[in-house]
Structure 1
Amino acid sequence: MTHSKNLIYSFIYYLISAFGISLTLKANIGVSSFNALNATLSEFSQIKIGTITASVNFLFLIGCILLDPQRRLRNYFTMSIALLFFGSTINLFVYFIFPLFTLHSYLLNALLFILGTVIAGFGTGKVLKYQLLKFPIETCCLFLAERTTHSFKFYRYSIDVFCILLAVLLTVSFHLTLMVREGTVISLLLLSPVINLAKD
């Protein structure tokens, strides 16, 4: 019963994290490195950002399955369901709820971004605390670190750098909206500390 209850809580916090990400997108002052790439790909492809976010995470999930020596498919099935809800939650707020209001002050947008980052970090930290649902990118980096001489931090930061570079390259090449902005810097400074506080 405790396991089932914790799994339900994990799903709820997973969705809270998605809600926080949606707030950072609404703020429109840039987003975290990973979400900057997702938002850029979304504008380029005209596919909803929640769908793009879930799809890119699914690619990392496939990487996890290939790298995982145990390959407990039941766990990966649960993660897949969580990712579908994650992407759907982002789409719900970004395209159907948040367009109902507009913020005309930069200060309010900045405060909304900070609030969204804190909420996303809180949800992520709680998910990590329960250790029942995994985030594909971090899990993939852990597996790579176990199999190579490079550390988890090396792979995780490498993904961040790659996401930023690709987002900027696509933006410049196809004249898209620049998503690597001040919000990206705020996210780099604020997100990890909030996650660490929430998971302790």
Structure 2
Amino acid sequence: MNRKNLTLSFFYYLLSAFGISLTLKASIGVSSFNSLNATLAEFSKIKIGTITAILNFLFLIACLLLDRQPKLKNYLTMSIALLFFGSAINLFTYFVFPLFTLHSYLLKCLLFILGTIIAGIGTGKVLKYQLLKFPIETFCLFLAERTTHSFKFYRYSIDLFCIAIALLLTFTFHLTLMVREGTVISFLLLSPVIALAKD
């Protein structure tokens, strides 16, 4: 395993966490998966980075179970990366970004777009180096290999599931609505940015 590329992969993994934290700071909604993370965080009173890491760990375990030739070293490296990922989101969300406040809706939208672009670049670069995996994408890939449905089908299904559960919890327990205009912006912008950064 190339150490330089592994170090860069960790850096871009953390850059993705920074971008996600910016979208949370904007407070105009978040991406599909993060809408569930943010809703669960408010519901459980557990920090959002911790929730994000836990859910990713669950997908990582599912990947390990589906993997026909699992390399435990790779899964251990991924586990360490997820710990850093969740910790970085907590650091920015609860300790750094509360130091400033945004009152303008336009600035919030611009911050969200910036955060989405940064998160997309980080994700794309991680995918380019192919040393660290994103558990959800890997899980969907494994499912696609074993069934007649495509990767896109499973990935969008997870997005819809996350949105549905987030909305259900929100309206049942009167929580902050996380599925908003930011969710639409993320849906339209994130994938193209990831594709550009990956090439």
CA drift at 1:134? 0.2
Q: What does residue range 9-88 of structure 1 map to in structure 2 within 5 Å?
A: 9-88=8-87
TM-score by length of 2: 0.99
Aligned length: 199
Q: Structure 1 counterpart of 2:58, which letter?
A: L
Q: Structure 1 counterpart of 2:100, which letter?
A: F
Share of identical aligned residues, percent?
82
TM-score by length of 1: 0.99
2:190 corresponds in structure 1 to 191
Give the Cα separation in 1 of the matches to 2:136 and 2:101: 32
SS at match of 2:17: helix
Give the Cα separation in 2 of the matches to 1:143 and 1:82: 20
Q: Structure 2 counterpart of 1:79, which letter?
A: M
1:110 corresponds in structure 2 to 109
Give the Cα separation in 2 of the matches to 1:185 and 1:85: 28
SS at match of 2:177: coil
Kindly provide the CA deviation profile for residues 5-49 of structure 1, in whole angstroms up to 9, marking residues without a partner as x.
Answer: 000000000000000000000000000000000000000000000
Give the Cα separation in 2 of the matches to 1:144 and 1:63: 10
2:180 corresponds in structure 1 to 181
Give the Cα separation in 1 of the matches to 2:132 and 2:153: 23
Give the Cα separation in 2 of the matches to 1:19 and 1:162: 25
SS at match of 2:2: helix
Give the Cα separation in 1 of the matches to 2:187 and 2:78: 25
Give the Cα separation in 2 of the matches to 1:97 and 1:6: 28
Structure 1: any 5+ residue segments left out of the alignment? none
CA drift at 1:91? 0.1
Query: Runs (4+) of structure 1 moved beyond 6 Å?
Result: none
CA drift at 1:107? 0.3
Q: Structure 2 counterpart of 1:75, which letter?
A: N
Q: Structure 2 counterpart of 1:93, which letter?
A: F
Kindly provide the CA deviation profile for residues 67-111 of structure 1, in whole angstroms up to 9, marking residues without a partner as x.
Answer: 000010100000000000000000000000000000010000000
CA drift at 1:157? 0.2
Kindly provide the CA deviation profile for residues 130-181 of structure 1, in whole angstroms up to 9, marking residues without a partner as x.
Answer: 0000000000000000011110000000000000000000000000000000
SS at match of 1:113: helix
Give the Cα separation in 2 of the matches to 1:192 and 1:112: 18
Give the Cα separation in 2 of the matches to 1:74 and 1:64: 14
Q: What does residue range 161-172 of structure 1 map to in structure 2 within 5 Å?
A: 161-172=160-171
Give the Cα separation in 2 of the matches to 1:77 and 1:3: 16
Structure 2: any 5+ residue segments left out of the alignment? none
Q: Structure 2 counterpart of 1:18, which letter?
A: A
Give the Cα separation in 2 of the matches to 1:162 and 1:111: 27
SS at match of 1:138: helix
